[in-house]
Chain A
Amino acid sequence: MTAYIIRRLIYAIPILIGVNLITFVLFFVVNAPDDMARMHLGEKRVTEEAIQTWKQEHGYDRPLLYNPDASGLGRFTETIFFEKSIRLFVFDFGSSDNGRDIGYDISQRMWPSLAIAIPVLLVGLAFNISYALFIVFFRATYVDIGSVVLLVAMMSISGLFYIIGGQFLLGKLFHLVPISGYDTGVEAWKFLILPVIVGVIGGIGAGTRWYRTLFLEEISKDYVRTARAKGLSERRVLFRHVLQNALIPILTGVVVVLPLLFMGSLISESFFGIPGLGSYTIDAINSQDFAIVRSMVFLGAVLYIVGLILTDISYTLVDPRVRLQP
């Protein structure tokens, strides 16, 4: 397994270079270094001299990808792309264009993101699986049909609706929880209730339908028929046999998102005023802070790759037939 993991990590290097290159090109197609300088220096009375000084101080005075004035390897290394990217591979995110240490900010802001993402994942998983099993238990009845209609309707509603609706009902109308905001320590709990409820409800439609499909596929297999023939109750068949065998696709979906929980939610954090990494990324995009955008995309790619490796490993844990080849 170790050899397999090492091989996957080596494969990850060209992927990360590619992701970094695409991010770089996309960002600089829209934002030239001069535009970034203007954004950071303010809109009024910005002189060309000030722009050049800013670019020089922040390392944006070099060519983007290819430096024809340099010689040898310097043509590629003495560029903005190389100088800004190379340190990412040792997880040195450097400073934002505003001068703040990005690594420190990420370490501070991942906790609020996790504080929402983990309860949403766990509660959502428990609810969706339970509800899916319930539907499967009553498959091909009005309960099943009614539930599918309800789930499709819930899937069709925008996530923003759940957020605004939740804020309106629970915060504004019933005065049960704060509409938005966040606090550190134990004071945080009252701010987490609403985003977690909204996150769970917003995920019921898609999540439950997906699990229902998985369970229905399993329930028609021979081993289930055998279990029933042995006289096991339907409840036992579902929980002991169907659920266990449906774990592989469930794990695929769950384990791969585990590392991404750090990244937070872009919309939810903005609306609830949660100082997580989602709002950090949005702020960076709005303020054209390439250093943060680059770091967050890189981190997202790394975490996704880690998630995929974890998924592969988890297969071996839940299915003895699966073995990882070096």
Chain B
Amino acid sequence: MNAPAINTAFASQAAFRALMEATAQPGEIRTASALGAPAPLSPATAALVQSLTDYETPVWLDDAFARVPAVAEWIRFQTGAPIVQEPRQAAFALIADVEAMPDVTQFALGSEEYPDRSTTVIAQIERFGGRAFQLGGPGIKTSRTFAAEPLPNDFVQRMAVNRELFPRGVDLVLVAGEMMAALPRSVRITEGF
């Protein structure tokens, strides 16, 4: 028998709960990890993919992920999620090269009536540190300092565009190794300390 060494129900719950808490408190860092995913999938990205995707959730891969066939194979085998070519069709978009990530308007943004029909973008970065931002909005008592790099140069403008679309828009999850932080569409973000 190929019984899994860990209880998949618990692993899946732990990764979801980490992201739920991260989304409820934008900028707070939580951890999750899954074993055995091929590079460049980081442990937290792999854990979120296993926890949240299945045959109902089309997944889009950026060029850096799509270049490695093992990534798509691992996702298909582990979750059964279809891999799509258009970011607009995706429930989840995985980004390995964050500086080359498409503009938010390239993804599914939902409609005014159904803003939930939008893409969740999971983007891998190097670390939570360096370039600093101020966050505000739901989930944040007054304001929260948040740091992450690398990110596109015009990151704040992109997030402002996303906020302008509210309640439409994408929800962004940043991942560094086993760590994750969420910037849901409700967040207000400015540059600086």
* Chains A and B bind each other: no
